[in-house]
């Protein structure tokens, strides 16, 4: 029977629920058959406590209250000492007065003293310690913690259970210091996997420091990355919790000052779960260049670290820096061997393989997959998506990945030109073809020969131009305006729109035959709100871009600021995100990146700059410019400035010309 119980406990500790339940059921069946009501081992009580807290599935015939009652009747001093501890935990869970809880824990301590079982006695004292801390009885907590530390220091490390290890000593393990550093040094020279080696060094450091948790955070591209490179007992989810914000501030302080730090945190006025009570961290530096931070903390001990710990931690920091340096040298050597080592200034961005399209979500990966499928062909592509999603970026990616990549990429925004100029822009014109045609002009169809022509906002083409475009697509032949010579041009056509062309066909605003000619291989670009998981990567990319452009550097991108970005709805999509990051890069003061509040605009045409005494034409000019900015200088069609101002697009062009408004001057 004991074999079944021990097997159940082993599988429970490994997290194997199915096997645990299987052995527990066998144990309960044997216990019932033999008629033994209690077994003098605490394992079953620990599993019952997990079931009570919903941390483990229920098992028929097994519950904590029943096991406590059976054990209390046994008269076994050792087991009664253990069940009194679990009784105290159960009382506290059920909201009983703290006086009753403390009384049961004192009884547990008394019985376990009589039994002489040191490990379970210390577990009861650890429970008392946590209750004292939770109730703000810091003096009692300190006294109990010191008792735990003193007792555990008398035991060999191999005899100490993991849940008590962090209390073993408050001083660095000097007895095993030389051995530990020697072992770590040998690993640096022999372990090939550098990432695995840094993980091992953090674990060794955690053990020798007597810390509870540890991590390495790297400083990359001018930003401290709180996604840990290596950890020991510290998870990414814990780092994301608000309770870790105090630690982040200390880590940023160390990175900025370049000096190690020990900090004891007063939590008496805080209402937080599992607060950090002590922390220690040192900078990782290579020739005075910051590489990151080596960090450790303790959530149970009040003053876990001192200057001796700081000295010891610096040993491990040096070893981690050596590993990072070896990793850098190994990469450079590999590049030399392959003949691909280039100067830093000529390096292409890491994301060049995606042609600037950034993201890891399934929807954006699908877009990239479609780009790679269609790029080697000459098929016409229709790119669909909201304003600001990056349609031109996708068009450029198709061009750069295809057989025409060495040819020109000619882009035309059909919405940015008046109806009277679109034909001239696309087909070109001969000298004297119309008033103002003082010289011959080569059209975009002709310029795109051997390359790609990208027509953005294709849905805004006038019907007359749609007919002409259809003819060109059928024959690849055209004539300049005012000319009689037929010109042939071998180009690939890519188009984009934020409109629903099928509905426009139904409304007779777009030719059905042209739509079917364009809609051979449609690619739909997801809006930013459909791929919010990509926002952190996009934000980091834009921050790096504008830090270089503006000449600023920040220690970190705080999680609170990233949360603002993820929460926002992004009606302007990636373009809006880029604008927000650029603005925040300019406005952030000091070393911490901060984003202004992102609020939804209730009145898109609330015009800044209006004042009394302004002439009507001045006010009109400001109002039109504001509308153009709100629509990202889109003039016609759905979501355009003309629609926003409730006037005809031709009228808007006329007013812009009269008031001398242009995108180049007034953006």
Comparing 88 with 419, which gets the higher pLDDT?
88
% of the chain beyond a pLDDT of 90: 18
Q: Are 70 and 64 spatial neighbours (Cβ–Cβ below 8 Å)?
A: no
Q: Quick one: average pLDDT of 604-627? A: 71
Give the largest CA-CA distance in the chain. 114
Q: Where are the alpha helices (DSSP H) in 594-648?
A: 616-630, 641-645
Q: Are 198 and 214 spatial neighbours (Cβ–Cβ below 8 Å)?
A: no
Q: Quick one: average pLDDT of 162-176? A: 56
d(CA 248, CA 228): 12
Query: Please, which pLDDT band fits residue 177 given cuts at 50, 70 and 90?
Result: low
d(CA 584, CA 562): 12
CB atoms within 10 A of CB 77: 15
In degrees and rounded to multiples of 5, residue 487 shows phi and psi of -115, 135
Q: Quick one: average pLDDT of 70-84? A: 85
d(CA 235, CA 233): 7
d(CA 433, CA 440): 9
User: What is the pLDDT at residue 353?
Assistant: 42
Query: Please, which pLDDT band fits residue 346 given cuts at 50, 70 and 90?
Result: very low
Sheet containing 381-384: give its strands across: 409-413, 452-456, 492-497, 381-384, 521-524
List the Cα angle 354/356/360 in 5-degree steps: 60
Question: In the predicted model, is pLDDT for residue 113 greater than 70?
Answer: yes
SS3 content of the chain, % helix, strand, coil (to 5): 55, 10, 35
d(CA 263, CA 309): 12
144-158, 352-366, 527-541, 547-561: range with lowest mean pLDDT: 144-158
**Complete DSSP assignment for 554-586:** -SB--HHHHHHHHHS--TTHHHHHHHHHHHHHH
Share the mean pLDDT of the chain: 81
d(CA 527, CA 324): 39
In sequence order, which residues have a C-beta less than 8 Å from that of residue 288 and are 6 or more positions away? none
Q: Are 219 and 292 spatial neighbours (Cβ–Cβ below 8 Å)?
A: yes
Query: Please, which pLDDT band fits residue 251 given cuts at 50, 70 and 90?
Result: very high
Query: In residues, how long is the chain?
Result: 667
d(CA 64, CA 67): 5
CB atoms within 10 A of CB 168: 19
pLDDT tens digit string along 401-439? 888 988 999 998 887 777 667 778 888 888 877 777 778
Question: In the predicted model, is pLDDT for residue 136 greater than 90?
Answer: no
List the Cα angle 455/459/462 in 5-degree steps: 95
DSSP 525: P
3-class SS of residue 261? strand
Beta pairing class for 409-413 and 441-442: unpaired
270-274, 582-586, 654-658: range with lowest mean pLDDT: 270-274
What separation in angstroms does the CA of 93 have from each of 54, 369, 640? 12, 53, 61
244: buried, middle or exposed (CB in 10 Å: 19+, 13-18, 0-12)?
buried
Question: In the predicted model, is pLDDT for residue 567 greater than 80?
Answer: yes
Beta pairing class for 521-524 and 230-232: unpaired
User: What is the pLDDT at residue 339?
Assistant: 53
3-class SS of residue 336? helix
Query: Please, which pLDDT band fits residue 602 given cuts at 50, 70 and 90?
Result: very low
In degrees and rounded to multiples of 5, residue 11 shows phi and psi of -65, -35
What separation in angstroms does the CA of 3 have from each of 9, 82, 441? 10, 21, 92
In degrees and rounded to multiples of 5, residue 130 shows phi and psi of -65, -40
User: What is the pLDDT at residue 104?
Assistant: 93
The overall pTM is greater than 0.75: no
Query: Rg for the chain (alpha carbons), in Å?
Result: 35
Question: In the predicted model, is pLDDT for residue 138 greater than 90?
Answer: no
pLDDT tens digit string along 474-505? 888 888 888 888 888 889 999 999 888 998 89
415: buried, middle or exposed (CB in 10 Å: 19+, 13-18, 0-12)?
buried
Q: Are 85 and 127 spatial neighbours (Cβ–Cβ below 8 Å)?
A: yes
DSSP 42: S
**Cα 367 versus chain centre, distance:** 21
């Amino acid at each position: 029977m004991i074999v079944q119980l021990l097997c159940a406990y082993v599988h429970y500790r490994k997290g194997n629920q199915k096997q645990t339940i299987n052995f527990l059921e066998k144990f309960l069946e044997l216990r019932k058959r033999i008629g033994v009501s209690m077994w003098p081992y605490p394992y079953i009580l620990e599993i019952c406590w997990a079931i009570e807290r919903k941390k483990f599935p229920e098992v028929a015939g097994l519950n904590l209250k029943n096991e406590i009652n059976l054990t209390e009747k046994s008269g076994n001093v050792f087991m009664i000492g253990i069940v009194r501890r679990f009784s105290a935990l159960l009382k506290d869970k059920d909201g009983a007065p703290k006086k009753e809880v403390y009384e049961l824990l004192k009884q547990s301590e008394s019985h376990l003293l009589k039994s002489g079982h040191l490990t379970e006695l210390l577990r009861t004292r650890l429970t008392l310690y946590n209750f004292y801390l939770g109730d703000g009885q810091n003096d009692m907590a300190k006294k109990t913690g010191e008792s735990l530390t003193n007792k555990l220091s008398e035991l060999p490390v191999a005899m100490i259970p993991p849940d008590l290890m962090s209390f073993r000593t408050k001083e660095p393990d000097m007895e095993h210091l030389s051995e530990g550093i020697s072992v770590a040094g040998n690993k640096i020279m022999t372990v090939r996997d550098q990432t695995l080696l840094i993980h091992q060094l953090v674990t060794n450091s955690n053990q020798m420091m007597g810390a509870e948790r540890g991590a390495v955070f790297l400083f990359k591209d001018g930003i401290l990355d709180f996604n840990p490179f290596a950890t020991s007992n510290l998870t990414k989810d814990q780092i994301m919790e608000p309770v870790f914000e105090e630690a982040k501030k200390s880590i940023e302080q160390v990175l900025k000052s370049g000096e190690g730090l020990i900090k004891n945190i007063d939590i008496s006025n805080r209402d937080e779960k599992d607060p950090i009570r002590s922390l220690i961290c040192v900078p990782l530096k290579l020739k005075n260049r910051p590489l990151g931070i080596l960090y450790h903390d303790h959530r149970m001990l009040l003053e876990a670290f001192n200057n001796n710990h700081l000295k010891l931690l610096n040993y491990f920091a040096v070893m981690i820096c050596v590993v990072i340096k070896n990793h850098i040298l190994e990469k450079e050597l590999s590049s030399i061997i392959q003949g691909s080592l280039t100067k830093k200034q000529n390096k292409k961005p890491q994301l060049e393989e995606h042609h600037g399209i950034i993201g890891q979500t399934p929807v954006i990966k699908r877009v990239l997959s479609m780009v790679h499928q269609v790029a080697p062909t000459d098929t016409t592509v229709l790119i669909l998506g909201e304003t600001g999603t990056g349609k031109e970026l996708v068009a450029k990616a198709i061009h750069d990945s295809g057989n025409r990549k060495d040819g020109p990429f000619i882009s035309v925004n059909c919405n940015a030109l008046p109806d009277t100029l679109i034909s001239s822009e696309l087909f070109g014109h001969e000298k004297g073809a119309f008033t103002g045609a003082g010289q011959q002009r080569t059209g975009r169809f002709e310029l795109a020969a051997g390359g790609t022509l990208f027509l953005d906002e294709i849905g805004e083409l006038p019907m007359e131009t749609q007919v002409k475009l259809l003819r060109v697509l059928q024959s690849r032949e055209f004539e300049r305006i005012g000319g009689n010579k037929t010109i042939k041009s071998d180009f690939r056509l890519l188009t984009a729109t934020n409109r629903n062309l099928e509905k426009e066909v139904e409304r007779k605003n777009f030719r059905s035959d042209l739509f079917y000619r364009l809609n051979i291989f449609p690619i739909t670009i997801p809006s930013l709100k459909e791929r919010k998981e990509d926002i952190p990567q996009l934000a980091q990319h834009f921050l790096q871009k504008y830090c270089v452009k503006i000449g600023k550097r920040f220690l970190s991108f705080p999680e609170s600021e990233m949360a603002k970005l993820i929460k926002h709805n992004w009606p302007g999509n990636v373009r809006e995100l880029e604008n927000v990051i650029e603005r925040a890069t300019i406005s952030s003061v000091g070393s911490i990146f901060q984003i202004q509040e992102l609020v939804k605009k209730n009145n898109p045409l609330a015009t800044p700059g209006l004042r009394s005494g302004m002439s009507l034409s001045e006010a009109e000019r400001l109002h039109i410019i504001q509308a153009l900015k709100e629509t990202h200088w889109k003039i016609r069609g759905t979501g355009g400035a003309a629609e926003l101002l409730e006037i005809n697009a031709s009228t808007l062009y006329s007013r812009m010309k009269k008031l001398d408004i242009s995108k180049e001057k007034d953006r």
